[in-house]
Structure 1
Amino acid sequence: MAQAGPSRPKKLANTSKAKKPSLKSSRSKKTAAVQAVDILDKAALEYDAPADMKSFADLPISDLTKRGLKKAFFVDMTDIQAKSLPVSLKGKDVLGAARTGSGKTLAFLVPVLEILYRRKWGPQDGLGALIISPTRELAVQIFDVLRSIGGYHSFSAGLVIGGKNVKDERERLSRMNILVATPGRLLQHMDQTIGFECDNLQMLVLDEADRILDMGFQRTLSALLSHLPKARQTLLFSATQTDSVSNLARLSLKDPVYIGVHDSDNASAMPKSLEQHYVLCTLDQKLDLLWSFLKSHLQSKVLVFLSSCKQVRFVFETFRRLHPGVPLLHLHGKQKQMTRLATFQRFTGMKHAVLFATDIAARGLDFPAVNWVLQVDAPEDAETYIHRVGRTARYESAGKGLLFLMPSEEEGMTQALAKKSITAEKIKIRASKTQSIENQLQNLAFQDPEIKYLAQRAFVSYLRSVHLQKDKSIFKVAELPAERFAEALGLPGMPKIKFLTKEMAKKRKNASYAAVTPEASLAHRPQERSSPDSDDSDDESSAAEQSSDDEDDPAGTAAELEASGNKTKEDRVRTKYDRMFERKNQDILSAHYNKLVDHSADRADSDDDFITLKRADHELPGDDALPASDFISKRKQKMALSKKALAKSAPRGEKLVFDDEGNPHKVYEMKTAEEVFKGAEDVKEAGRQFAEGERGKLKQADVADKAEAKEKKREKKRKRKEREREETGHGDDGGVATFATVAPPDEDDGYVSPQFDLPSDSEDSDREAVPPPSKRTKKSDAERSHVHDSLEDEEELALQLLRQRR
């Protein structure tokens, strides 16, 4: 114990000496880290960027971010990054605008990581940064870049987009520090997900803000901003600056620093390595020109923009069946989320391919090494053109753009591009190099009903997209060759365009109402009698003037005109009849109405009859009576002539059948007596002869059958009598019975005669003489032979006894 006692303090002393340096080192590391973060924060706030700064290493950012950038091969900064990063790292709001492909994604991802790192953000602090993207594909791309450069940080990041399971997203939302989302799904989680709070939000990033507003998310974005705290840093980036973006910046940003907004140089708007061209072609030549282009650029990566989802699907399905010799893909908003992501990733990794897409692929998506961007359908404005053509010539790489314009679109589009300092060179396509596919499309539509259906939908959707465009100087539906376009799609005829029909009817209706306004009726109110042929018949007085030509008392009519002419609209009460006379077709109804109504009641002073409508005491002349169609409004006439009404009243079609000679007949056609009885005697005679022949054959067969049946019965009767005779012992040997074995009767062959074996009279008498054996006496053949043997023994025994007695 004594030896062990002093040894223990030594061990304790040794362990205490070993632990003390580790505690000091951990504390010193934490203190050093905190001091480093404070120094970094101070350096970022006081940083003044030099004019020649190009590398990310020169920025006051953490080593973790620098390592992530280096790992993702981001070394040098672009112009937008060099201008915006020093400002955004200081915590100021930024409104940035730069051309597509200039690196705006890193311009807001680096500040997101650095601001949260400098503020020591942890998992328990909740959501610190929110990044909103207009499309799902762009949100996925931003999330991938965030993962690549933020791998050395300890932040948790999440992706919230439509098309995925909401329950799985709800479980992870409360643990997210950085969230990349689309507006619709984000607002859904804010309203429905319990525990999802944004009270501590530090940064808000709006990428492609103009597109977010153009896609109809303005109300959604306003609702999102109402959920977010006001004390935050906001970064707003877009390739183009519009009035809506400026209004949004005024509402959501506080004292923002404008980066790249005032740059009007063409080099800053479009990259120098981009070649821009446009070609003139008619609407029915677009698909031929597109097919010929793809056949001559099989070793290129091409992105083709169309105006609607149905057009994208039609072109993809038809070209896929025609086998151009290059892989084809399509991307549009009606696809499922997994399909869209798979298409996006496939096209990103392919070297030679063609992607047909809508404007969903026009914003922010980074497709590497795109050689050509074809805009088969004209963009809605110059901003959309910039975004579309910006999918190529990214990061100082070369690219080409080709715009298909119709003659009616050339002037308006070139002027819109000129306002943005964009010049596209006009080129011509050789007719010898163009291949027509109209016949092939017609064959496909004839053979495959799905292709025909897609062609019809594509036709209607294109015309609808042109009709809904705001800039009518570019998009003119009336000048489109609709019938020729339908033939170019392979359709046998032009589909009905209901929305255009409704629109034209609405315009005509509004024009008719505008022509009969109260001001117009007051201005055109005649004070003197006019001729019946005049067009100024917009009120009751002019109607009375027209009806006065058919009356017998012009003096009374003049008095009515004087009385009605002195009244103004303000003095008298307007009735439904006044409105009726103000219609355009009043010349039809007013004359007849004046014949029916006794106008003397208007001049009467009786108080009891001021509501009563009195009729004139005369009959309507038969010759001058108007047809019934004149008393029906145009709307009811149109309804009566509609397809639905005609289908009810129209005669039904009749089904016809054709005889051997090819003559048509009704299915239930009534024949004349001559046709019915013509040749009836011959038919009856033939039937009678046939019946007689068949009857003779039946008689012969019946006689043969009866004879055969009788013969069989006789044989059966003979065998039965012989068998009974042998059983009773009455033979033909002089009264001496001989017990011999009886052969078994022949088996019945199962034949049944036509008369069902009914017994005859002779057979009945025989049966009475010889009664049938009872059922109890029936025995098998073996039993009968045994009985015979026992009787013979008894006979022998009886004879021996008689001999002994003698």
Structure 2
Amino acid sequence: MARKHRLTTSQRKDLRQKESQYIQDLQTRTEEYDNSKATYFQDLPISNVVLQGLKEASYVKLTDIQRDAIPVSLKGNDVLGAAKTGSGKTLAFLVPVLEKLFRERWTEYDGLGALIISPTRELAMQIYEVLTKIGTHCSFSAGLVIGGKDVKFESERISKINILIGTPGRILQHMDEAVGLNADNLQMLVLDEADRCLDMGFQKTLDAIVGNLPPSRQTLLFSATQSQSLNDLARLSLTDYKTVGTPSNISSSQSATPDTLQQFYIVVELSDKLDTLFSFIKTHLKSKMIIFLSSSKQVHFVYETFRKLQPGISLMHLHGRQKQRARTETLDKFSRAQQVCLIATDVVARGIDFPAVDWVIQVDCPEDVDTYIHRVGRCARYGKQGKSLIMLTPQEQEAFLKRLHSRKIEPSMLTIKQSKKKSIKPQLQSLLFKDPELKYLGQKAFISYVRSIYIQKDQEVFKFDQLPTEEFANSLGLPGAPRIKMKGMKSVERSKDLKNTPRQLLSLYKTNEDGEVKEKPKEVRTKYDKMFERKNQTVLSQHYLNITKSQAQEDEDEDFMSVKRSDHQLNESDLPQLTLPQSKRSMKKALSRKASLASKGNANKMVFDDEGQAHPVYELEDEEQFHEKGDAKSQTKEFLTKEAQLMADRDVEDKKLAKEKKQEKKRKQLEALRRQMEEEEAEQYSDDEEAQAILATGNLSDDMEDGRDYSDSDVEQPPRKKFAARSERKQDTRQQHEIIEVQEPETIEDLESLTSRLIQQR
């Protein structure tokens, strides 16, 4: 085997000089570059290794945002970029990241060079996949850190990563826990979907991340809807930045949605939304569509019920409460499918590139126009055709359409053909009646939707006071509207903060009712503790068990006091005797309310004091109330008279009961004696029947004397009974069989005559 040729010192020196000269030429080309002439990636001043990766990944032609953003980023400026959905913003920041590290001659020993933050796990995975495609010829190491993955596995390798992609919560967790993660040499910070990363849900997390980064870094912000709040930009140290693209909230001459997107809306009552949705799916079975709902509980309920109703198309669901493996598998299956319906929340509304989506259906009105833009951006990407439909209630129609018009979005109104519309309310009621688990999901879906309307900031669009709760509950198949306990706005904001906090970080802290952080208790629950606490999957879940409780003990009233029995040891003596009455009189007495009350006597009403002790009413009565009933002597006399009469009545009843028991006992004894005599007679009768079937031995006088065969010397003769009934039965048996008594034959002639008589008798 030939040895690998090793470079000499002079050769390595020449190679470094050539590389330095090449990088210097790239920098010169970048400063002199005029982006108005660029059409392809090869026209940009980027390195050959990046160009080769782009070419192999089939990225050849530039989009508008890429043509504007990449040259500005290569010059070292901070960028605030905004463009329509599906316009290629991912490559607009990945190419500058690779070029920056290449020109800095970055190696694995230099640590973290670029940090890319995404608001959702799915978008972070998509960015990582694109980076691995175009960076195959680069020598940098890249890593993906998101929730739902093994933290220990990530921590062991994060110290050698040059480009880190992840969600805010998991990145902050590694900054706090991972020993090898050092961001002191960070060159570039990228925020994809920056407006979502900068909102109140990620505010504290993002501020903590930025606090660990050097201020001399380069920062890139990209989104389809961009926020130019000075406070947000100041938090990221953006003072001298360049705005590229066409931000939807700045440009007043162009719509923020793609030109190839056909947008429609329909006006439908809240109680008819599921009927309309099911009818739409039934009439578009050859399409690939995404259905957006406002909460994960609604997604779960609609998916489970529609799956049982079988609309005729493959159904999938995706929301933030699923396990990461299930979310990843759903994304992969939906991307490869052609005729499928995905029911999802806004977790897939931003940045996810699904190929060939035909329809985007918004069942619930989005919270603002930016969310609408991101939702409809899942179709009509990269110049392809697509359609969107939003369902608006009469209360939401006017105000939300006005907000769309202000952003140059003009959806067309559609009318519903009544012949195509099908009502599924009876089927839903039947499903929920048969399946308590579905009923629980329906209750949670109802509560989550009502709460989502309650916490909306835009009160002109979302009118909580005008919600038809009863009609909406009936449309879900529920018998009535569940009770809802509304939280204050402070609790809502705290819930949003906790929702975007990693579960691993939440396990390290314990908060009180005011949201203040307290110390974590000393007890640590290991994975083995959780394993033994896990219930069998065949047993109904704890959520289903909550249905059997009363409305006052539902999870909406968790803060209300409830008493649970701690001593579950029951003695048999404490249990009542569950036996049926023996007589008709007792049964009538047990079933009669009047008779039952009469036997129990005068009930005593008890009153509880402040300490919880029970007392008769008269003990806690006021003096005035006592005198209203009369003086003490008259009340005493009345009480004694009443009790004496009650005791006399009781004595009469007790005597009757004792007499009935005595008679019943005597009757049972006589019945037992009668049964014993009948059994003995039956035994004797069976013995007589067997004796008649025995053949004679030849001595007819002995054999037929009493109709039995006692000639066998081995058989002991039974004793004779003295009952008259037996003798009468014996005579009847003889007459029935016509037994003939003769003398014993002495000669052959006597024997022959006896034989002839027997033959004639037969």
TM-score interval, normalised by the smaller of the two chains: 0.5 to 0.7
Larger Rg computed on CA atoms: 1
SS of match in other structure, 2:198:
helix
> Is 1:686 matched with 2:667?
yes
> What is the match of residue 51 of structure 2?
66
Deviation at 1:324, TM superposition (A): 1.2
Answer whether contact 2:294 2:345 (CA < 8 A) is retained.
yes
Question: Secondary structure at the residue paired with 1:174?
Answer: helix
Structure 1 residues 691 and 247: alpha-carbon distance in aligned structure 2, compared to 1, 3 A threshold: closer
Task: Answer yes or no: is the 8 Å Cα contact 1:101–1:390 preserved in 2.
Answer: yes
What is the aligned counterpart of 2:309 among 316, 319, 322?
A: 322
Aligned residues of 1:377 and 1:405 also touching (Cα < 8 A): yes
**1:44 aligned to which of 2, 10, 30:** 30
Q: Which residue is equivalent to 2:20?
A: 34
Of 42, 48, 69, 1:57 maps to 42
2:144 aligns to what? 159
**Cα distance change on mapping 1:169 and 1:681 into 2, 3 Å:** closer
- Aligned partner (choices 387, 402, 417) of residue 415 of structure 1: 402
Go from structure 1 to structure 2 and tell me whether the alpha carbon gap of 1:678 and 1:371 turns closer, same or farther (over 3 Å shift): farther
TM-score (norm 1): 0.63
Match of 1:577?
none
Equivalent residue for 2:282, pick from 283, 288, 295: 295
Equivalent of residue 591 in structure 2, options 664, 668, 682: 664
Work out the CA distance in 2 between the residues paired with 1:191 and 1:21: 43
How far 1:267 moved relative to its partner?
Answer: 4.2
**Displacement over 3 Å in runs of 4+:** 18-30, 243-246, 265-268, 642-645, 655-689, 691-701
Cα distance, 1:62 vs structure 2: 0.6
Q: Deviations over 1:88-145 (max 9, x none)?
A: 0111110001111111100000000001101111111111011000000000000000
1:226 equivalent to 2:153? Answer no
The residue number in structure 1 matching 2:262 is 275
Q: How much has 1:33 moved relative to structure 2? A: 2.4
Instruction: Quote the Cα distance in structure 2 between the aligned partners of 1:681 and 1:196.
Output: 92
Aligned to 2:290, the other structure's residue is in SS state strand
Matches within 5 A, 1:95-494: 95-214=80-199, 216-242=201-227, 244=229, 247-248=232-233, 251-261=236-246, 264=251, 267=254, 269-494=256-481
Contact kept? 1:316, 1:328, Cα under 8 Å: yes
- TM-score, length of structure 2 as denominator length: 0.66
One-letter amino acid of the structure 2 residue matched with residue 690 of structure 1: E
Contact 2:255 2:409 in 1 (8 A): no
- Counterpart code for 2:591: P
- Cα 1:102–1:700 change in 2 (3 A) is closer
In the TM superposition, residue 494 of structure 1 has moved relative to its aligned partner by 1.4
Query: Is the 1:657–1:664 contact (alpha carbons within 8 Å) kept by the matching residues of 2?
Result: no
* Contact persistence 2:255–2:408 (CA under 8 A): no
Query: CA separation in 2, counterparts of 1:380 and 1:156?
Result: 39
Q: In structure 2, what is the Cα distance between the partners aligned to 1:491 and 1:370?
A: 33
The whole-number CA distance in structure 1 between the counterparts of 2:364 and 2:180 is 46
Deviations 1:176-200 (A, max 9, x none): 0101011111111111111211000
Kindly state the Cα deviation for residue 665 of structure 1 after the two structures are TM-superposed. 3.9
- The letter for the 2-side match of 1:455 is G
The whole-number CA distance in structure 2 between the counterparts of 1:448 and 1:38 is 71
Change (3 A) 1:106 1:688: closer
Percent of aligned positions that are identical: 51
The alignment partner of 2:355 has SS state of coil
On the 8 A contact 1:213/1:244 being kept in 2, the answer is no
Instruction: Answer yes or no: is 1:87 the counterpart of 2:72.
Output: yes
Describe the shift of the 1:45–1:687 C-alpha distance in structure 2 as closer, same or farther (beyond 3 A): same
1:361 to partner: Cα distance: 0.8
User: Do the aligned partners of 1:170 and 1:193 also contact (CA within 8 Å) in 2?
Assistant: yes
The CA distance in 1 between the partners of 2:338 and 2:407, in whole Å, is 32
Q: Equivalences for 1:560-599 in 2 at 5 Å?
A: none
Q: How far has the Cα of 1:680 moved from its partner?
A: 6.9
- Equivalent-residue separation in structure 2 for 1:483 and 1:695 (angstroms): 71
8 A contact 2:295–2:449 mirrored in 1: yes
Query: What letter is aligned with 1:130?
Result: L
Residue in 1 aligned with 2:485?
Answer: 498
Ranked by relative contact order (alpha carbons within 8 Å, sequence separation 6 or more), the top structure is: 2
Quick one: which amino acid aligns to residue 201 of structure 1? L
Q: Deviations over 1:620-673 (max 9, x none)?
A: xxxxxxxxxxxxxxxxxxxxxx9989xxxxxxxxx9999889993469774956
Shift of 1:39: 1.1
Query: Cα distance, 1:209 vs. partner?
Result: 0.9
Contact 2:219 2:238 in 1 (8 A): yes
Residue type at the aligned position of 2:272: Q
Deviation at 1:238, TM superposition (A): 1.2
Match of 2:758 in 1: none
Q: CA deviation at 1:251?
A: 4.2
- What is the alpha-carbon distance in structure 1 between the residues aligned to residue 6 and residue 228 of structure 2? 65
The structure-2 alpha-carbon separation of the partners of 1:205 and 1:678, relative to structure 1 and needing over 3 Å to count, comes to same
CA–CA distance in structure 2, aligned partners of residues 211 and 20 of structure 1:
51
Deviation, structure 1 residue 46: 2.8
CA-to-partner distance for each residue in 1:745-785, whole Å, 9 max, x for gaps?
xx9x9xxxxxxxxxxxxxxxxxxxxxxxxxxxxxxxxxxxx
Letter in 1 for 2:671: F
1:693 and 1:678 map into 2 onto residues whose CA distance is 23
